[in-house]
Structure 1
Amino acid sequence: RQLARSSSPQDTHYYLLCLASVKEDAFGPAKGLVRNSDPRVRRLGIAALDSCHGPKVEEALLDLLNDPDDEVGDAAAISLTDPRRGTAIALVPNLQSIIARGGNAARRAVVALQRIPGEQTETILVDALSKTSDPDLLAQMADSLGMINSRMAVPGMIALLDDARPLESMQYSERSATRALAGARGQFSAKGVDAESITVLRARTVADAALRSLTLIAGPSAPTNATLPTDTRPAGALREQWEAWWKAGGGLSPRR
């Protein structure tokens, strides 16, 4: 109750340490917090669950992937795949099933898979990319595959460069950047920089999300003038440019 009411970072940190000190006994209080109507309190509940382990904890976190608040969903995905749990690989089938069902939970499950290293999870995401039609889920898959530098996903993302459907949700990388920016605003102000003038550039369409990830994967080898906004050229032209780049070796030096 005191944690839910805490308003200062110092108090919040203190109460979380108190819960962490009782380890598994923190599950009961934490479960109450994640049921709170306030997203901030639910995020605190997830932080309290970080010190708990076991199937009931994992079940609670999997349920929280469907939270209406993206920040809460992100926190659940991060907690689920915390290396200290040592159970992330075992949860891959659960996450795969959630992705197949679609919706908000699917986007957060993609974020969770992004955080589990290995060819298995990369293959699952690439396969799902070819089977998904929901624009926001597609964008999150492209975002996550770009973050793990998946060359396996390049052909699928090139195909998305013609997808001009608008997005309703931010991708995980955008939310992470927004959080980091919010935390650094004080430093910007102290240096005389107008913090309000610095914003995170959002992908507005599926094609935008795909292009950003392709650019990230390609790095300096990206085709010339093919990293500009997707709405600045005739339909199909950007895709054709990236297809030619991929057929030419995708920026990899030919073997001798």
Structure 2
Amino acid sequence: MKFIGIDLGWKSQPSGLCCLELRDGKLQLLDLDRQDSIADILTWIDKSVKLDESAIVAVDAPTLIPNATGSRLPDKLSHKYFGKYHAGCYPANQNLAFAERTINFGLELESRGFVHAPTIEPQKLGRYQIEVFPHPAIVNLFNLQRILKYKKGRLSDRQLELIKLYNYILEVLPSISPHLHLSAFICGQFPHTGAKLKETEDKLDSLICAYVAAYWWYWGTQRNLVLGDDTTGYIVIPQRISEVIGDW
């Protein structure tokens, strides 16, 4: 089973891409990439997941937007449950500039057999897609009291927050199920320029997306929250680790 994370550029920005595979009970990192165009992203997915392979694609973007104006239900619920962590998401509606791009991306995935999975039978092979959001996922997976603020602010501050994220990934995700094996994942020296730091940010976000895909497939609703459904749009978020840690 493969797990694809897509930190989708909502407009014309590059997108971070990650491919994990469950082998011998551990998640192995197969690829960590970045592509510019939707066509190149889809080509990367097609190469990463063959037509006869099972996989779940987790997209950090609203691929289901039923409402013409305002906010979707999952957007509102993200603020209700995660606003105190500064982890509420941006509103999505069909009149916003990014909507056509993100909706069409979901449709492209559907055409490849990746069906929306706001409900899932844990560990059942198939081809699925879900919407995810890294900020609340990071808060819950790493038991944080606020988001890691690596997207805005001074370059030096963003770099420090991104290093924190990298260290949490290395320290925590190999210790929870499904276990992420990262011996081949070495970030090295963190970049000091804005463009290079953004590239690292996109890739780490895509890794979080891919891990959330694996966590959803592995545990289902036993250890995940689903904000919304396939009629309102939905976001899958891991349950806070401190709430389930006694079960490990």
TM-score band (shorter)? Answer: under 0.3
Which of the two has greater strand per residue? 2
Which one has the largest radius of gyration?
A: 1
Structure ranking higher in helix proportion: 1
Name which structure has the greater RCO, CA cutoff 8 Å, separation 6+.
2
